[in-house]
Structure 1
Amino acid sequence: MRIVAFVLLSALLFPVPVAATTSNTWLAQRLSHSVSTRDAMASVRAFDAAARAGGGNRAPGSPGFQMSREHLEGVLERAGYRVTTQSVPYREFTVDTESLITSAGARVRVLMAQYAPSTRVEGSIARVTASGCAPADYPPGTAIAVAPSGACTTAAKTIAASEAGVRALLVYDPSPVADSVIRRQATGAVLPVAFVSRRDGESLSGSGVLELSGRSSDATTVNVFAETAGGRADHVVMAGAHLDSGEDGPGINDNATSVSALVETAVRLAPHQHRVENRVRFAFWGAEELINVGSTHYVATRTPEELAAIRLYLNWELIASPNFVRFVVDGDDSDHPDVGAPAGPPGSGVVEAVLTRGYRVQGLPFRTADLGDIRSDQEPFARAGVPVGGAFGGVRGIKTADEAAVFGGVAGQPYDPCYHQPCDDLSNVHVRALGEAMRAMAWAVGRFAVDDDLDG
């Protein structure tokens, strides 16, 4: 009776149409039914503890990253995988000073842009009159200009500001979260750059002293891999998520949730790893927050034969955003050619269909998102011609009223208000969303481990 009851309960929780119960979905069904949200959350808590013990983040080169790596490798090895690593060189940027004191004596929180020039500027502060993309946008005599993000790149704004005689640039996001400040890169900037909150960006005036000091150095981090013992070596299915956080927060939704779900999927796959048709390679990337450094290095160091063996790459990001939407990357733009959204390499449309199936078998709604909406580790694979796909819970975009009606949450607010903030900790995780995304993830991994046909 217990077995019958369990089967009936499973059928209610995870309805699978009869037509879908075919030989190529047996592992997809087993994995999606067996992954445990509780076990995944144990890893999420371990990564949160690593960030707290490691100085508040899990950035490359930090104690928090090293502790995260040790936890990850330990779980995979105990599951029966042989764990390997790849050294990844990168340019580390260390901030020594980031300070703004106004003439009124107020201290304003500023975050120096990575890889931007250092400076000490004293003088007038003025907001731009438009986007900051043209020299005419900057008031004459401005020493420190304040501009909103968007319309053009930060580097382009610095060029325009420099032509107007500005000596340093402050940038803010016109976000509903008035006090958040997000550090970004400013490669190509010709002026010193720092980021401030919207509240400060819209209120700064008068004069002040801005000090920004940073330095670059050569450093090394790692990519971590585990793959099945069975499966064809010339038919590799890759599934990945980045292990590192940004330097200004613990990175728990971004991206400990995805890593934890992928680890749990790997653990549940381990007992079946000799039965898979295709080799499954789990990848946990280093230095993604420095613009896909780990995955780009991996793709660049593959031989043509190794690259040709990779049948597809699956990527997950921020799967438990507190104001989530279930987004699946649109691998084929043929359904909206008027939009002109980028399409993935041939075969990406089939990858998308399998990923969406992972939600459909749970009876859950989802939305598709353009390939460029989530800039992450699928990008170097797509550039190399590997079919790609992925899913995420939403980043800094604003939830619409329609999305709130379908998925719950709050319209008019970001999907993840703590993105790259100190508050991206355990309190920033939507546990139910994590479990649902993980079951869809397990479905896709199991399906492609058995059948990687991408012909449609």
Structure 2
Amino acid sequence: MASTLHWSRTLLLAVLGTATASEFQIPLVAQKPLGAGNALTKPLVNTEDLQASIKIENLVERAKSLYSFAELSEPEYGHPTRVIGSKGHSATLEYIYSAVDKLDGYYTLSKQPFPAVMGNVFESRLVIGNEVPKSAFPMSLTPPTTNKQPVHGDLILVANEGCDPSDYPSTVTGNIAFVLRGKCSFGAKSELAGKAGAVAAIVYNYASGPLSGTLESPTPDHVATFGLSGEDAGPILKKLKNGDGVDSIAYIDSEVKKIETTNIIAQTVEGDPDNCVMLGGHSDSVSEGPGINDDGSGSLTLLEVATQLTKFSVNNCVRFAWWAGEEEGLLGSDYYVEVLPKEENLKIRLFMDYDMMGSPNFAYQVYNATNAANPEGSEQLRNLYVDWYNAHGLNHTFIPFDGRSDYDAFIRHGIPGGGIATGAEGVKTKEEEIMFGGKAGEWYDPCYHQLCDDVGNVNSTAWLLNTKLVAHSVATFAASFKGFPERSNTTVFESSEQRAKYHGHRLIL
């Protein structure tokens, strides 16, 4: 799950230089029509039969392959990773494309390259007074400190929430800005601090928890920026408000660079092309680890379901997507929806997001996507998952539908969405321990965004069961959209001005 960067069509044209607006009206490029195979001789997809075809052995073997790809990045990163731009991610893309390519003409297969910004923090340290706060984390996409060397200065308390140039006193020049989280984005705060002459910035939380965020689209005025918990910020604030001086040393060695990466899209040759069920997972990991649960489990679930679906015919087209750059801020899914013409948008009846299907300390989580807050049809999809868990005598919980994964761009552009997950860095409650087993007081995935997110980090029971549920969701809508809300011209909209708390796994506000 993912930091953020939202590319507007104008920005994309600027980045790619000579490209014209008309070129961005084609959502899929490098298309490879593979033929219809012998689809007409196959039975119509049936949910029970498709679910029965899912085997944990196939999923585990795919996971082992994925980890071997992550190992290809060791010479550059010092450990296995499948972050965009790495050899591990390139091998992952080749694997997915090749696997679908071999499926006997059942899918039209496409690659969709797009520009991306990625960041990597190699080293960081923050000292405040004589303390090294444990909650200090560099923001995603932060630039380094000057010359990648430590910078020293007094902490200067910024007024209000640091969203206006007048909030930054003249004394911030040559010093370190201390800014409260809220209202405007972290990127805006960093940029304003840089314009005011600060050598670094610290954004502190108004809550006790740590603050892991992103600066979003890089600008020349961004300065090296840390997040800090409200708990660690409290004593510092007290001193600053009493007029006591507090000095600080900040150090970040990082890089932020532009690259090109690729989405992979596969659509059934058969099925009504004007009524598509779409589902996706992300192909990349964070730079810190191999990402076998996040989101190897989701992307491999899609690949296995896509493979087993070839045994059946479908009434409605099924479109699988493997997004790149999710961990850098939902880049691939944002790009896909951003350049999608209105008439193509309307062909997508719903989008289902599958991110982290087998967390070790799992809970069966359903996004609480209601029609009141999201495009109509989102609630019906939510209820499909709930009904399936209930039918199998399984507990479930609802989790916020707050923009933390690749469904975000779809619902912002009028496409119903939803999905399931098994938990990331959240802490399992005692009640959930009773409902699902595992251990209360620990993260759902103790290896979330870490080096230990390897093959042994995926719970086979949860992964197999949820892959069967994914198969059920595909089979249901591939056979019929009966009773599901229709799309219309009025349901296509852009709400890019709306700001969510999250865009990917990192906070943006």
Q: TM-score, normalised by structure 2?
A: 0.70
> 1:113 is matched with which residue?
139
Indicate the residue corresponding to 2:99 in structure 1: 75
Deviations 1:122-181 (A, max 9, x none): 33687999x987999x9x999557889789854476589789996423568999999xx9
2:221 paired with 1:193: no
Q: By how many angstroms is 1:350 displaced?
A: 1.4
Q: Quick check: 2:141–2:214 contact (8 Å CA) kept in 1?
A: no
Rounded Cα–Cα distance in structure 2 between residues aligned with 1:442 and 1:268: 9
> Displacement, 1:268?
0.9
CA distance in 1 between counterparts of 2:192 and 2:114 reads 35
- Whichever residue aligns with residue 112 of structure 2, its letter is Q
Structure 1 residue 286: Cα displacement: 0.8
Query: How much has 1:361 moved relative to structure 2?
Result: 3.5
**2:396 pairs with 366, 371, 375, which one?**
366
Residue matched to 2:116: 90
Q: Measure how far apart 1:86 and its partner are.
A: 0.8
- The worse-fitting range, judged by mean Cα deviation, of 419-428 and 32-41 is 419-428
What residue ranges of structure 1 are gaps of 5+ in the alignment? 1-23, 335-342
Cα shift at 1:52: 2.1
Give the root-mean-square deviation of aligned CA atoms: 4.1
Distance in structure 1 (CA, Å) of the matches to 2:427 and 2:145: 35
Q: What is the aligned partner in structure 1 of residue 420 from structure 2?
A: 391
Deviation at 1:319, TM superposition (A): 1.5
Q: Which residue of 439, 443, 446 maps to 1:410? A: 439
Alignment of 1:30-45 (within 5 A): 30-45=49-64
Asked if 1 retains the 8 angstrom alpha-carbon contact of 2:44 and 2:314, the reply is no
Structure 2 distance, partners of 1:258, 1:175, is 32
AA matched with 1:393: T
Between stretches 86-95 and 287-296, larger displacement belongs to 86-95
Structure 1 position 199, deviation (Å) = 11
**Aligned-pair CA distance for 1:105:** 12
Secondary structure (helix, strand or coil) at the match of 2:414 reads coil
Q: What are the Cα deviations for residues 206-260 of structure 1, in whole angstroms up to 9, with x where unaligned?
A: 8664333545443211111222221011111111101111122211211000111
**Which residue number in structure 1 is paired with residue 200 of structure 2?**
168
Deviation at 1:400, TM superposition (A): 2.0
* Matching residue's letter, 2:226: A
In structure 2, the residue corresponding to 1:406 is in which secondary structure?
helix
Q: How many residue pairs get matched?
A: 419
Tell me what 1:435 maps to. 464
Paired residues of 1:245 and 1:255 also in contact (CA < 8 A) = yes
Equivalent residue, structure 2, for 1:304: 342
Q: Which moved more, 1:214-223 or 1:401-410?
A: 214-223
Unaligned runs of 5+ in 2: 1-42, 75-79, 237-244, 487-509
Alpha-carbon distance in structure 2 between the residues aligned to 1:148 and 1:37: 47
Distance in 2, matches of 1:150 and 1:402, equals: 32
Match of 2:272 in 1: 232
The 1-side partners of 2:195 and 2:112 are apart by 44
Counterpart of 2:327 (choices 285, 289, 309) is 289
Distance 1:384 1:108, change over 3 A: closer
How far has the Cα of 1:37 moved from its partner?
Answer: 1.4
Structure 1 pair 25/440, CA: closer, same or farther in 2 (3 Å)?
Answer: farther
1:350 to 380, 387, 390: 380
Query: Which amino acid in 2 is paired with 1:421?
Result: Q
